[in-house]
A and B are shown apart, each in its own frame.
Chain A
Amino acid sequence: MGELRLMKGNEALAEAAIRAGMDAYFGYPITPQSEVLEYLTREAYKRTQCTILQAESEIASINMIYGASGAGARVMTSSSSPGISLMQEGISYIAGAELPCLLVNINRGGPGLGTIQPSQGDYFQSVKGGGHGDYRLIVLAPATVQEMADFVQDGWELAEKYRNPVMILSDGALGQMMEKVELREQIDRSKHVIPEWATTGKKKDRERNFITSLFIQPEEMEQVNLQLQAKYKTIVENEIRVQEVQTDDADFVIVAYGLSARIGRKVMELLRADGIKVGLIRPITLWPYPYETVSRAAERVKGFLSLELNAGQMVEDVRLAVNGRCPVEHYGRMGGIIPSPDEVADVIREMYSKIQ
């Protein structure tokens, strides 16, 4: 068993990054995730001599990530919603140039400057694009402090396997809450294998490497796009992660990720005590999305509720998967408000009474 600690989500994530052999972190302070940069500046360099740099903006951060990843380093940045919006151009370049890196969004309420309280309002931005062009991020949605830590190394491994940016989409509550976390062993970063495509200086026995997302000839640009789409298809085939809780006998299913899934679980218990057989589907990868799991459930159940801290974003993917076979509703609170389990249970009772 690894070392056990009681930690904040943001600090667990930062600690996990050090242990996973991070080479460099570039970031800019923003609530509610500034602990990541603070923890790293305090702990990281003295332990692994990695680079920690507070950049002048999120725009600079994401472009430093581009440069460092292009030079073959294991790199991460973290921010919260407005900061992630600023990074979108850079993220598109990183996806276009096929550079592996880890991006962390500790989602806060929006739009605009919004609030520093938790939200899931960045679902669309994270899984449907965000930046320009046809690209995809692999998006991991932790629901516990343990997963905030675990998804760091898992995320880098996925990023490096597919040469694709990976995002951990969390929220202000998970970032700030404290829970028990089991930490993994320290990886020796000096043992990283530097990829052969990286810009590390042109050696005599190879052509020069260049990192770019520019392909000015339309025929070439289309080929690059087709290759990206082929890669995304492979990711869809191999990397979907989803958790199902008591869906076997369920008449009704809550679909929820991250913090909402924790609420959903409590709602499920309340309603099962009332005799309503409710199950929970928790997508762990938001892209690739577990359409099949939702679709299979749609064969058996009478209805779905997509529970999200937003105005209804993931519900569109649930509806795509269900494809009209039974009612799909959304319930969510916005602006940093977290619904109580009783409040959500009432919504389901009402909905369930109509579809009996």
Chain B
Amino acid sequence: MQEIEHHYEDMDIVCERPTALLDKRMHYCPGCGHGVAHRIIMEAVEELGIQENTIGVAPVGCSVFAYHYMNVDMQEAAHGRATAVATGIKRCRPDKYVFTYQGDGDLAAIGTGETIHTVNRGENVLIVFINNAIYGMTGGQMAPTTLLEQKTSTTPYGREAPFMGNPLKITELLAQLPGAFYVTRQAVNTPLHVRRAKKAIVNGFKWQALNKGTCFVEIVSNCPTNWGMKPVESNKWLEEHMLPFYPLGDMKVPSKEELENG
């Protein structure tokens, strides 16, 4: 077979890894949305020029090692407690940009109490919530956001509401709280969705400086490994099954006055 010759020197770089994301091989499975989510968060940090003033909090779950990739100061929280840790940081370092990165089990099961109270207090932090409807790290068990009839390793015959409860729309719930400043649901399964999700993350960081409450960005993501699908197939399944139940879009947006009187 003929070898392909590359002449990089003749090409312009139009897209590269953000410097705020370390050049490391990630431990995530092929096709997993975490890599894209990490990237857009760090692109936002870089574009806003806040790398020196950003402190992140990693969860327990697949993204437990987020601090291996994100080149900002970070803390690794106990399972579910990321927003409490973020509260402790932000209260003592109010001039810093503080964010958490949490999965569905972390944020909406074991950490539900901390999540609700952090948003209710209107802590000036950004919460990024990755919803892939399953526990990834422990091997594909039911999550609070697992869909009805969805099969997981602990719902082998599909999730049934009378026995396992209903999937929790925690983002809709949080949007009701007065402490929430900006609440939105995005996804990372298509280039369009990725661009919109990044815009939401940028807003979530930017508006933290206004000190007007919590910014909350849900990202509907995939888990090809534990869903038992190929990556492309999983993104299609996300579109067809996740998005009808977890519709994308803003649930609470600041008014013009709120943004102008910052």
**Interface residue stretch chosen among B68-76, B149-157, B186-194, B249-257:** B68-76
Q: Enumerate chain B residues within 8 angstroms of A64, measured Cβ to Cβ.
A: 84-85, 87-88, 91
Q: Does A209 contact B (CB under 8 A)?
A: yes
Q: Enumerate chain B residues within 8 angstroms of A203, measured Cβ to Cβ.
A: 52
Determine if B51 and A66 form an interchain contact, defined as CB atoms under 8 angstroms apart.
no
**A and B contact pairs by CB, cutoff 8 A, 28 listed:** A24-B91, A24-B92, A56-B113, A56-B117, A59-B81, A60-B81, A60-B113, A63-B81, A64-B84, A64-B87, A66-B78, A67-B77, A67-B89, A68-B88, A69-B88, A71-B93, A73-B88, A75-B88, A89-B78, A93-B78, A97-B76, A199-B89, A201-B54, A202-B52, A210-B74, A211-B75, A211-B76, A212-B76
Determine if B114 and A201 form an interchain contact, defined as CB atoms under 8 angstroms apart.
no
| Bound-complex Cα distance A144 to B59 (A) | 42
Sorted nearest first, the 6 A-B pairs with minimum C-beta distance are A67-B88, A67-B85, A64-B88, A68-B88, A63-B84, A199-B73
Q: Enumerate chain A residues within 8 angstroms of B88, measured Cβ to Cβ.
A: 24, 26, 63-71, 73, 75
Q: How many residues of B contact A (CB 8 A)?
A: 32
Q: Enumerate chain B residues within 8 angstroms of A199, measured Cβ to Cβ.
A: 55, 73-75, 89
User: A61-89 CB contact bits vs B (8 Å, 1 = yes)?
Assistant: 10111111111110100000000000001
Interface residues of B in 85-106 (CB under 8 A from A): 85-89, 91-93, 96
Q: A201-B96, A202-B73 are in contact. Are A90 and B117 (CB under 8 A)?
A: no
Residue of A nearest to B78 (CB): A93
Q: Enumerate chain B residues within 8 angstroms of A57, measured Cβ to Cβ.
A: 113
Q: Does B53 contact A (CB under 8 A)?
A: yes
B89 touches which of A55, A68, A93, A210 (Cβ 8 Å): A68
Residue of A nearest to B88 (CB): A67
Q: A53-B91, A66-B75, A214-B64 are in contact. Are A60 and B114 (CB under 8 A)?
A: yes
Determine if B81 and A90 form an interchain contact, defined as CB atoms under 8 angstroms apart.
yes
| Bound-complex Cα distance A71 to B70 (A) | 17
Q: Enumerate chain B residues within 8 angstroms of A210, measured Cβ to Cβ.
A: 67, 73-76
Nearest CB in chain B: distance from A208 CB, A = 5
Q: Enumerate chain B residues within 8 angstroms of A90, measured Cβ to Cβ.
A: 78, 81
Determine if A63 and B93 form an interchain contact, defined as CB atoms under 8 angstroms apart.
no
Determine if B89 and A201 form an interchain contact, defined as CB atoms under 8 angstroms apart.
no
Q: Does B57 contact A (CB under 8 A)?
A: yes
Task: Identify 8 new A-B residue pairs, CB closer than 8 A, beyond the known A56-B113, A201-B93.
Answer: A63-B78, A67-B85, A68-B89, A71-B96, A97-B76, A201-B52, A210-B67, A212-B67
Q: Does A213 contact B (CB under 8 A)?
A: yes
